[in-house]
Amino acid sequence: MIDLDKLAEDWPSPFVARCKISEFTHGLYKQSSMNTLDARGDGLKRRIILGNKIAYLKTDIIDWLKRRKRND
């Protein structure tokens, strides 16, 4: 069982750059997956854009992952 809240506790910043999403999620999601999900409207609703970089609030990522999680 993955403790999603532990992901946020272990991350040193309140933000996660999209290019670091794989590192943050321990490989569950890749940057290319987030690009696709965002383009389809299935990604995170809030994002921070600085220059040509995109980042997310880590709390938003955790909430989003919890909504997407299925218990099989």
Structure confidence by residue, pLDDT tens digits, 38-71:
999 999 999 999 999 999 999 999 999 999 887 6
C-alpha–C-alpha distance, residues 29 and 24, integer Å: 9
Predicted local confidence at residue 37, as pLDDT:
95
| pTM given for the model | 0.87
Taking alpha carbons only, the member of 40, 63, 44, 42 closest to residue 54 is: 44
Checking if the pLDDT of 1 tops 60, the result is: no
Judged by phi (left if over 0) then psi (alpha if -120 to 50, else beta), residue 66 lies in alpha
